[in-house]
Amino acid sequence: MIRLHHVPQSRSMRVLWLLNELGVPYEVQVWPFDKTLRSDDYRSRNPAGRVPALEIDGTCWWESGAITELLCERFPEAGMGRAPGHPDRAQWLIWVHFAETISQHVAALTQQHIMLRADAMRSATVMQLEAKRLEKCFAAIDGRLSGRDLLLDGGFSAADISVGQAVYMARHFARIEPFPALQGWYERITARPGFALACPNEAQARIYTQAFYAPWEGT
């Protein structure tokens, strides 16, 4: 039995997308994006009080990069991983974990734009700096994709899932249109059924209620 503990539009979305691509049976327990994640009940699964947490065969895994590696090792037949010795192995690891670099900037912007409710608590400087850092991440991805359809020469993998989901979140704070290779890749990978199944449905609460959050200019 596999059960994913999930908050829609969060890092756990990349694990949900990966599970869809692996084609394995799973259950999802959806949690609200609030202090419930800090409850003793949830922290028994992820002591940091964050998603994802993945229950599998009586144990609980956490940290999305680690979960990605472990799932790809457990279900190698799906071709989402790259085993040691594979020509794509180093690039696979780099891009799977680069997703967290992007996500850290997204987390800072999510806090500034959404979680801090009073303008006096926000920082226009932080918003502008973090948005620029996302653009630098986009430039790195765009450079990698120059002359490629996917991040790895050997085809679609969990690297595309991890980075693609991070870009899904980052697009709320920085535009991808100035990066044509990135934009084309993003459109291709998000056309996959596995991505659509990982997106929040109409009944689920969303973290991002706007398509784009422009940097706040201050008062």
Q: Is residue 138 within 8 Å of 176, Cβ to Cβ?
A: yes
Q: What is d(CA 155, CA 9) in angstroms, rounded to the nearest whole number?
A: 25
Give me the domains of the chain, ranges plus CATH numbers: 2-78 (3.40.30.10), 89-192 (1.20.1050.10)
| Average pLDDT per 10 consecutive residues for the chain, totaling 219 residues | 97 98 98 94 95 96 97 98 98 98 98 91 95 98 98 98 98 98 98 98 95 83
Rounded to two decimals, what is the model's pTM?
A: 0.96
